[in-house]
Amino acid sequence: MKFRYFILALAFFHVGTNGSAQNPYDLEKCIAAGLENNYSIILSRNREAVNENNFTRGNAGFLPSLDFSGRYGGTITTTEQRLTDGTENISKGIHNTSANAGVALDWTIFRGFSVQTTYKRLGEIQAIGEMSTQLTIENLIGRIAYEYSYFVQQKRLYKNLEFAVALSKERVRIDEEKYLIGDGSKLQYLQSKVYFNVDSSRLARQNEVLRSSEIRLNELMSVDDLGQSIIIEDTTLIVNPGLQFDKLLAETIESNTALLIARRGKVVSQYDYKIISARSYPYLTFSSGYNTTLSMYETGNSKSDLRNGFNYGVTLGVNIFDGYNQQRNLRNARVEIENTDLEYMQIEQEVKADLLSIFSGYANNLRLLRLEEENLATASENLEIAFERYKLGDLSGLELREVQKSLLDAEERVLLVQFQIKSAEISLLQISGHILDYIN
């Protein structure tokens, strides 16, 4: 490709580079920035923290509850008594006060093993929260890897169009010289300028596509300046041609995060059924308390009354009839268990179908890549020969344009196939639970 480098150097000899002071990004750095700053990750981790906070023995009901209460109050009364002998007894503004304080202890000793089951259920919910965070992380890594690969592809397309513009510019220079010395026609010179403008227009449109991808990548990384320019280290897409379907399928069944979450969901539904079933068992509770009460009187035989007392008790009970709600809840719980089983099978089927479909495209594009790379090598050699013939006047401008177009088309096809392989690779790693390999 020495001819390509010669054309680019000739056209852009005086053009400087911008953004050289910026630190270049690679895929791992982009993913690290996204995992640190992306809002969806932060939200998912916060929800995970709530589930972790809820996973306690006290929340499950293992521990007793202890309450303290205190009260101070009084009464102001006026009493008028008219006795049968005609005398009157009037008491006005009698102010009596009282204060009491106490502690109360309540503890469920047995409720049909529902406490133990609830604790296990909270543990499963916590595990689901962790897996949900992992799934969010995997989705973000997949999106960043896809967008980064797309950005690399569009950057390569931009470079190819820069070469096309440089080649058209050099052709304009040659045709202009020929026209000025009378060795070429003005029509050919003007046609060269038209081609140059067409290629320049395509380059401008490609710059817009590249800029949009750059902004999306900044958004996924959640950087403060979404419009910042990204300098990337990779100049080509490196594809992995060694993925094997049988291995991916086994890893998917074992490690796919969506399937793992669905399995945990099945366990939670089974615990829900056991908790409802526990309501049919007798329950045993223990309660205890200590109270002290002080009363102050302004009238009567007593000026004050202080009472202290300790109480305790054990309650044994069983629900005999609740309007058939227990049976209804059990039937609903059995239906929910069946639903979670069906949901798991549905997710498993969808995952397998996605894996098979994506791997089929992956394998087919690997075969296409070899053909397109051969076409690209041939098209590059054809252009070098055609351009030399054009300078000697042995090739028309239209024929040169066709050769140039063939090269650009071949390059675009190679980049497209490479990107499709890379996209399939990202999806296959994500489905099989190995998307984290990009950061390990």
Residues 140-156 have pLDDT tens digits of 999 999 999 999 999 99
pLDDT at 376 over 80: yes
Query: What are the tokens at 395?
Result: 């090739």
The pLDDT mean for the chain works out to 88
Q: Is residue 273 part of a domain?
A: yes
Q: Is residue 14 part of a domain?
A: no
Residues 232-254 have pLDDT tens digits of 888 888 899 999 999 999 999 99
Helices of type H across 181-244: 186-221
Residue 397 pLDDT level (bands cut at 50, 70, 90): confident
Residues 182-204 have pLDDT tens digits of 877 888 888 889 989 998 999 99
pLDDT at 4 over 60: no
Q: CA angle, 141 as apex, 136 and 147 as ends, to 5°? A: 125
**CA–centroid distance for 175 within its chain:** 56
pLDDT at 321 over 80: yes
Q: Is residue 295 part of a domain?
A: yes
Question: Beta strands 304-317 and 283-296: pairing type?
Answer: antiparallel
Residue 384 pLDDT level (bands cut at 50, 70, 90): confident
Say how far apart CA 150 and CA 134 lie, in whole Å: 24
CATH of the domain at 168: 1.20.1600.10
Cα torsion 49, 55, 61, 65: sign: negative
Say how far apart CA 428 and CA 343 lie, in whole Å: 22
Nearest partner of 437 among 234, 230, 219, 251, judged by Cα? 251
**Domain limits at 329?**
2-9+20-439
Say how far apart CA 363 and CA 148 lie, in whole Å: 22
Number of structural domains (the chain) is 1
Q: Is residue 154 part of a domain?
A: yes
Q: Which residue has the higher pLDDT, 363 or 303?
A: 363
Q: Burial of 293 by CB count in 10 Å (0-12 exposed, 13-18 middle, 19+ buried)?
A: middle
Given strand 283-296, what is the order of strands in its sheet? 65-82, 88-111, 283-296, 304-317
Nearest partner of 57 among 121, 106, 129, 110, judged by Cα? 121
Q: Is residue 15 part of a domain?
A: no
- Helices 114-180 and 186-221 pack at an angle, to 10 degrees, of 160
Say how far apart CA 173 and CA 180 lie, in whole Å: 11
Answer yes or no: are the C-beta atoms of 331 and 249 closer than 8 Å: no
Query: What are the tokens at 257?
Result: 């995060």
Query: What are the tokens at 190?
Result: 């003007």
pLDDT at 218 over 70: yes
Supply the pLDDT for residue 175: 83
Answer yes or no: are the C-beta atoms of 47 and 132 closer than 8 Å: yes
160-167 mean pLDDT: 88
pLDDT at 6 over 50: no
pTM: 0.82
Supply the pLDDT for residue 75: 84
Q: Is residue 30 part of a domain?
A: yes
